[in-house]
Amino acid sequence: MATNLTNTAANRRDFLKASGLFTGGALLSQLPFGARAVGYHTSVDDTIKVALIGCGGRGRGAAQQALNTKQNVKIVAIADAFQDRVDMAYNTLMQRPDAAKKVDLPKERQFVGLDAYKQAMALADVVILATPPGFRPGHFEEAVRQSKQIFMEKPVATDAPGIRRVLAAAEEAKKKKLNVVVGLQRHYQPNYREAIKRIHDGAIGDIVGGSVYWISGGVWMNPRKPDQTELEYQMRNWYYFNWLCGDHITEQHVHNIDVANWVKKGYPVSAQGTGGRQVRNSKDHGEIFDHHIVDFTYADGTVINSQCRHYEGTYSKVDEQFLGTKGRIDSFGKNTSLKPYKGAAMYTHPNDPKKPDGDPYQLEHDELFAAIAKGEYKFADAENGAKSTMTSIMGRMATYSGKLIKWDDAMNSQIDLFPETLAWDAKPKLLPGPDGYYPIAVPGKTVTV
């Protein structure tokens, strides 16, 4: 969530000095030898140098959105575990009409490998973190350690140990006055901002219930190739493995769950629910469920129902609705309206084609880079991003186990999904059986906290 924590009058250069980014020779001495050898130097003008970490579809989109802001932004480094992803990002960026001005990516600043992110970060003022979510805690920690301004995609972790790492790094980011924007873009979307402000002002009374949805047909998969190691196969199919994705209740549905937390101005104290695999249950679907239904209970007793599913050929809905003591909101879509139970709408968000709200994915970058250019410390999204992600993880814990899961127990879970060794020939913790199927959770038997 955007937070106006402090608004300094410093110019951008003073701001970068204050946040530890503009350190001249001190920073240059920390750069990889290859970067120094090609004459790379720190900013001495108004150029905001950006490193893209994670060159998949979302990463390429975020890089484009950074370049589409009004500021003098330049992509100076890219990194990914896979060469073909780096090549794809480079080719996409170089197709821009303004690439000569906005993209500066010689081969020596295109980094490939599991540790490539560290080298790319060292060359930039701002980092975009868009790898699969399981890598987010480590990448966020490194970005904060290097004192970078940060845009990171949601979700920000896939298990409780990862959430705790993000929360600790978020505190360090605040101390260093580093802007952190998390890709929960509804916080930057005008109809959500305007409607929820009025909800918080009491327009529909106290919130007593609601439902949030991400029900759709599912996503891509990449067939296994004969020469792939198990680690590469799982990384190429990251959506279907919890150490990388967190299941779709976390990877996708976190958006809607986050809106519930935003409306309630807090996080649930417990969760219980059901889920399983009914349609998307082949070997290629890894370990995740294809549906989750969860009741999240908040401290005041309010229950918000959460539904997400991946069924092809069925009704789709990605939205939220809430009931208050004086009225309701049925949708945050094109007809966002706060309504009493009888009578005319209290508020309807303007739907003026001559003055559209704009793309929220673009707006979050517009606001971040405007703040950086002005030397403002304005955004501290990481704590809410972590706690909304944790809410979705708690929901997964409930559906996988069939148990009532309490917030404190979920937050303190020691179950760490990340591989003990991250190397191409190392084995992930989850492996397929002799029949090629991966073990999946069994409610009533699976332990999740």
71, 370 in Cβ contact below 8 A?
yes
Our CA angle for 443, 316, 269, nearest 5°, is 45
Q: Please state, as a whole number, how many other Cβ atoms lie within 10 Å of the Cβ of residue 9.
A: 9
Inform me whether the pLDDT recorded for 294 exceeds 90.
yes
328, 322 in Cβ contact below 8 A?
yes
CA distance 236 to 210: 36
- The tens digit of pLDDT for each residue in 77-104 reads 999 999 999 999 999 999 999 999 999 9
- Which amino acid is located at 436 in the chain? G
242, 267 in Cβ contact below 8 A?
no
Q: What's the pLDDT at 185?
A: 98
Q: Of 138, 136, 143, 104, which is closest to residue 121 (Cα–Cα)?
A: 143
SS3 letters across 68-113: CCCCCEEEEEEEECCHHHHHHHHHHHHCCCCHHHHECCCHHHEEEC
Q: Please state, as a whole number, how many other Cβ atoms lie within 10 Å of the Cβ of residue 232.
A: 16
Q: Please report where in the chains the tokens 């519930």 appear, as a residue.
A: 260
β-bridge pairing 207-216 and 303-310: parallel
198, 326 in Cβ contact below 8 A?
no
CA distance 341 to 354: 31
Q: Of 282, 322, 19, 237, which is closest to residue 144 (Cα–Cα)?
A: 19
Q: What's the pLDDT at 416?
A: 98
Q: What is the mean pLDDT of the chain?
A: 92
**E strand or H helix at 408, and its extent?**
helix 407-411
- Which amino acid is located at 15 in the chain? F
Q: Of 30, 21, 57, which is closest to residue 132 (Cα–Cα)?
A: 57
If you count them, how many residues does the chain have?
A: 449
How confident is the model over 273-298, as a mean pLDDT? 97
Q: How far from 224 is each of 221, 345, 436, CA to CA, in Å? A: 9, 53, 11
14, 375 in Cβ contact below 8 A?
yes
Reported in sequence order, the residue ranges of 270-345 that DSSP labels E, i.e. its strands, are: 270-276, 291-297, 303-310, 317-324, 327-329, 337-340
For the entire predicted model, the pTM comes to 0.92
Q: Please report where in the chains the tokens 């807090």 appear, as a residue.
A: 266
Q: What's the pLDDT at 354?
A: 85
What is the band of 352 on the pLDDT scale with cuts at 50, 70, 90?
A: confident
How confident is the model over 68-83, as a mean pLDDT? 98
Q: What's the pLDDT at 44?
A: 52
Q: Of 291, 256, 216, which is closest to residue 441 (Cα–Cα)?
A: 291
How confident is the model over 12-20, as a mean pLDDT? 58
The tally of CA atoms less than 13 A away on the side-chain side of residue 378 is: 18
Residue 343, token pair as written in the block: 């009578």
Q: Please report where in the chains the tokens 């001005």 appear, as a residue.
A: 101
Rg (CA), the chain: 22
Query: Is the bond into 155 cis (omega within 30 degrees of 0)?
Result: yes
Q: How far from 193 is each of 59, 302, 349, CA to CA, in Å? A: 25, 22, 10
Q: How far from 220 is each of 55, 223, 259, 369, CA to CA, in Å? A: 17, 10, 26, 32
CA distance 181 to 376: 13
CA distance 232 to 255: 28
Three-class SS state of 304: strand
Q: Please state, as a whole number, how many other Cβ atoms lie within 10 Å of the Cβ of residue 87.
A: 15
- The tens digit of pLDDT for each residue in 25-40 reads 333 333 432 333 332 3
CA distance 55 to 246: 20
What is the band of 353 on the pLDDT scale with cuts at 50, 70, 90?
A: confident
Q: What's the pLDDT at 121?
A: 98
- The tens digit of pLDDT for each residue in 226-263 reads 999 999 999 999 999 999 999 999 999 999 999 999 99
